[in-house]
Structure 1
Amino acid sequence: MRALLVVNPAATTTSARTRDVLIHALASDLKLEVAATEHRGHARELARRAAQDRDVELVVALGGDGTVNEVANGLLHDGPDPEGLPRLAVVPGGSTNVFARALGLPNHPVEATGVLLDALREGRERTVGLGLASGTPGSEDEGVPARWFTFCAGLGFDAGVVGRVEQQRERGRRSTHALYVRQVLRQFAGEEHRRHGTISVHRPGGSGGAEVVPDLALAVVCNTSPWTFLGNRPIYASPKASFDTGLDLLGLTRLSPAAVARYGTQLLMSSPERGPHGRHALSLHDLSEFTLHSQAPLPFQVDGDHLGLRTSVNFTGVRRALRVIV
């Protein structure tokens, strides 16, 4: 099998020696081409070329969730075609690795490589659904390029935290869970819209109308569960979310200190059976399409990648988007 291995040399948890071991192991079973990313967006370019090269049957992403997201977007540049596109495989190398762990892969890159090789020998794969975020027609964000996401997207508070973490990493800070916690506190202290939310959810209704849910202060869109991990602890924002259904949405109408304490505790104590709940929490399951509008520009993120400010984002849940080795 001809395969392309896309390696992020800046991946948080893999050393050059570990990467060499993984490359040697994969090359023993595959006709392997190795490409190291050199700049942001490079993994997407490499995967796009692989998708256009009909001889490549498999693209392996060695890196964190950002690398995986870029590879998925490259493979899907011309749209979903599960039977015609190369399959995707993931070797986790980041600090969190939500997508890989949601697939049931070990969080250690060497162990995950062993599972990957066994899956290839045994022909184990699954077709997963993904989310697509795009500019809303008629809005000022209409021309913004569409972006696929594998496990989550967010408008507002959580995206602001992601942006703060990226700024710290650009200054040389390591991506640790302690860093995320500090940025959560700083984002909360500077949040302008925590008491009166500016986000509304619009989804198609009957007879050409639309159902509108207003006044959200936070909106998290999940394509799978868990939403993220705090160390080895899974955090469930939308426990019912799945690669086999549409998208799920968690919205909060208030981010007061009391509400944050309550829902933060619920997140820490969440389980596959129960996520955040209460009168200020909105949970929607298995959505095919909906739009988030904001009265003010808010931070936006997909798969932990900050994409700037948005006032309107259209979301589509696309079932059976990619084949993935598991």
Structure 2
Amino acid sequence: MSANGGTKAIIAALAANIGIAVTKFIAFLLTGSSSMLAESIHSVADSGNQGLLLIGGRRAKREATPQHPFGYGRERYIYAFIVAIVLFSLGGLFALYEAYHKASHPEPITSWQWVPVAVLVAAIAMESFSFRTAIQESNQIRGNQSWVRFIRRAKAPELPVVLLEDFGALIGLVFALFGVGMTLITGDGLWDAAGTAMIGVLLVVIAIVLAVETKSLLLGEGAEPKDLLAITEAVTGGPEVERIIHMKTLYLGPEELMVAAKIAVPACESAEELARGINAVEARIREAVPIARVIYLEPDIYSAAAERAGTGAAAHTAVPQTEAEEKAAHPGS
């Protein structure tokens, strides 16, 4: 659902931004407003960003190869990180440069004065449609999370990126309308420069937020606490496993989770019996957390003496069963 919803939101944003970019450029050519130029470049950058997200989603679907045995799912994170860089450099820094240039040589808007206001109002309407689509698609997977938590914790990068881009675009249009409006009222081009600078600062901040969040995904994030608890209960929910000695999880892509665990198993009479038990545990994990598609389970014999001595396989800390236990085990985290 997240992939399809993300694609729908991206296409809606792309269509809106292309139309907005054209109208803004026309308004800039007619009026010479720096706010309109900054907004034009902003829309062009956003259009390119949506194209990058579509390319990333397409390339992530490639089959695994011997060189990339876990597939290409995390390529979506790479393209999302590139989007943050483009937004920062092409959108934010250009707007700040244009604001400086306009402040050094302020000029009033003397011709086609109604055009920038009409264009900005129309752009707000188009961006609102795109933003509404992104909100609707995000609500299908957001659950009861706050918007801040959804953006920070989402594993599929497309919806958070489009949400922040559309939100930034709407606020930027308001800033541009303020700068242009005050310039028309006062005849002072410094207001236009001020609106442009506000747009630049806004885009830089959004780009930094996106870069920080996508960097975390690129480095590799583990399962959410609720999924970790579900996996733990699935592993220990049958007679095949006595306890988890240690376990690690890693997102290979937005919809693919890897689970690797060393498990303590009771004594078995044959390797066939042990294999049947491990298969049963894997089936329970996939039923509890369907995105857990790559599972590696290493059987071992638990030894309390080895754990007390701090040596051997049993020396690893068992997986905390709840968030409270996890905090107790790692009070400094």
> Shorter-chain TM-score: which interval?
under 0.3
Q: Quick check: which one's strand share is greater?
A: 1
Structure (1 or 2) with the greater helix fraction: 2
Greater C-alpha Rg: 2
TM-score under structure 2 length normalisation: 0.21
